[in-house]
Amino acid sequence: MEPRIIRAGDRQTKVAPADNFVGQVLHESVFAPEAPSRLRVSRVTFTPGGRTNWHTHAVGQILYVLSGSGRYQLEGHPVEEINAGDTVVIPPDARHWHGAAPDSMMCHLALSESDDQGKAATWLEPVSDEDFTQEPA
């Protein structure tokens, strides 16, 4: 882990892969893991209607909402609205999804750690429109 400042202009924003996301989603790597750290920090911007597929994180995930209004659902629980300033704590191996609201964008920081195999997420099936458009609790 080299001491340095990673300048804003030196990072690339990429379109999040359609295999794991629905809608237009932009992914910026703020920090990629460097041993001995296993921390990964990403800024993810979801346009209205955009969301992750269902997925799990082997060692959990923390989301911090930077702007906008979004949705989050832990399997077996109601859909919840999340807004700028909210922190979402997602336990290890819990099936969930997160994304924008149907009519609003949402940008969050995602903080996760890799497991012993270097893997931070296991991707599953897309979130149905029926699940996505549930009225939040």
Of the pair 61, 73, the CB lying nearest Mn ion is at 61
Of the pair 10, 19, the CB lying nearest Mn ion is at 19
Q: Which amino acid, 72?
A: Y
Q: How far is the CB of 55 from Mn ion (least distance, A)?
A: 6
The β-bridge partners of 40 are: 112
Q: Give 101's DSSP letter.
A: B
Terminal CA-CA length for the chain: 42
How many Å apart are CA 17 and CA 136, to the nearest integer?
A: 26
Of the pair 2, 19, the CB lying nearest Mn ion is at 19
Binding mask 29-68 for Mn ion (x = CB under 5 A): --------------------------------x-------
Residue 137's closest CA among 76, 89, 58, 57?
Answer: 76
Tell me which residue has its CB nearest to Mn ion.
61
Q: Which residues bind Mn ion (CB under 5 A)?
A: 61
